[in-house]
């Protein structure tokens, strides 16, 4: 069965989680927020993970900016967030490739980010460093690091395999970037 946004939302619901996407479009650009939360009786939902980004109406227009996965009950949350993001791009936009920055704060953390993103189907594109030519991209992405690109269909396929196996290992919140 093909993995769709509706199917991913149903998987989240079966695990007792809410999956929500906000993607308003203004001036031809989408602003994107994907969130996964656990409902709580008598209280607001507990946010377990979210991803923010934006998209232009082009094949390479999906730019992912911030991913956060948190809490004790976050197993499988990353795959729900990534899967929903890729499915949304494929179903609702012309975007077929996604971009992100594995920010370089500390070398060990940077290596963890790169490994995490590679597991989700991203590959290296170019280093953003201190060169004058990198300044516009560093301003856009908010720092230096490894600019990575991934195929949305491949990312969705990878998430689908993990989701259909019961979620797979999520890893710690530290493995997920504060600012890709």
The residue extents of the domains of the chain are 5-175
The predicted model gives 1-9 an average pLDDT of 90
CB 18 within 8 A of CB 47: no
- How sure is the predictor about 171, in pLDDT bands with cuts at 50, 70 and 90? very low
The 10s digit of each residue's pLDDT in 150-166 is 999 999 999 999 998 86
The predicted model gives 92-101 an average pLDDT of 95
- Which residues is 98 bridged to in the sheet? 62, 150
Q: What does the pLDDT read at residue 148?
A: 93
Q: What does the pLDDT read at residue 12?
A: 95
Torsional sign, CA 39, 25, 82, 13: positive
Q: Is the pLDDT of residue 138 over 80?
A: no
Q: Is the pLDDT of residue 176 over 80?
A: no
* Antiparallel, parallel or unpaired: β 97-103 and 62-69: parallel
- How sure is the predictor about 175, in pLDDT bands with cuts at 50, 70 and 90? very low
What whole-number distance in Å separates Cα of residue 144 and Cα of residue 158? 27
The predicted model gives 137-148 an average pLDDT of 72
Residue 148 burial (CB count, 10 A): 23
What whole-number distance in Å separates Cα of residue 24 and Cα of residue 140? 20
Domain 5-175 has CATH 3.40.630.30: yes
Q: Kindly report the backbone phi and psi dihedral angles of residue 169, in degrees, each rounded to the nearest multiple of 5, phi listed first.
A: -70, 135
Q: What does the pLDDT read at residue 167?
A: 52
Q: What does the pLDDT read at residue 128?
A: 72
Is the model's pTM score more than 0.95?
A: no
Tokens of 129: 């460093």
- How sure is the predictor about 177, in pLDDT bands with cuts at 50, 70 and 90? very low
- Percentage of the chain lying above the pLDDT 70 cut: 83
CB 95 within 8 A of CB 62: yes
The 10s digit of each residue's pLDDT in 7-32 is 999 999 999 999 999 999 999 999 99
CB 154 within 8 A of CB 121: yes
């Amino acid at each position: 069965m093909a993995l769709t946004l509706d199917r991913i939302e149903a998987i989240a619901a079966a695990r007792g989680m809410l999956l929500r996407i906000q993607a308003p479009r203004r001036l031809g650009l989408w602003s994107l927020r994907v969130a996964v939360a656990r409902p709580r009786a008598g209280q607001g939902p507990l946010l377990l993970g979210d991803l923010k980004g934006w998209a232009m109406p082009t094949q390479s227009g999906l730019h992912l900016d911030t991913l956060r996965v948190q809490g004790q009950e976050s197993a499988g949350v990353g795959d729900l967030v990534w899967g929903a993001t890729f499915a949304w791009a494929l179903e609702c936009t012309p975007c077929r490739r996604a971009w992100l920055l594995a920010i370089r704060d500390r070398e060990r953390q940077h290596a963890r980010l790169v490994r995490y993103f590679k597991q989700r189907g991203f590959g290296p594109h170019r280093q953003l460093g201190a060169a004058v030519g990198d300044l516009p991209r560093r301003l856009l992405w908010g720092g230096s690091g490894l600019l990575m690109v991934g195929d949305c269909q491949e990312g969705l396929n990878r998430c689908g395999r993990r989701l259909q196996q019961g979620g797979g290992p999520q890893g710690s919140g530290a493995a997920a970037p504060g600012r890709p």
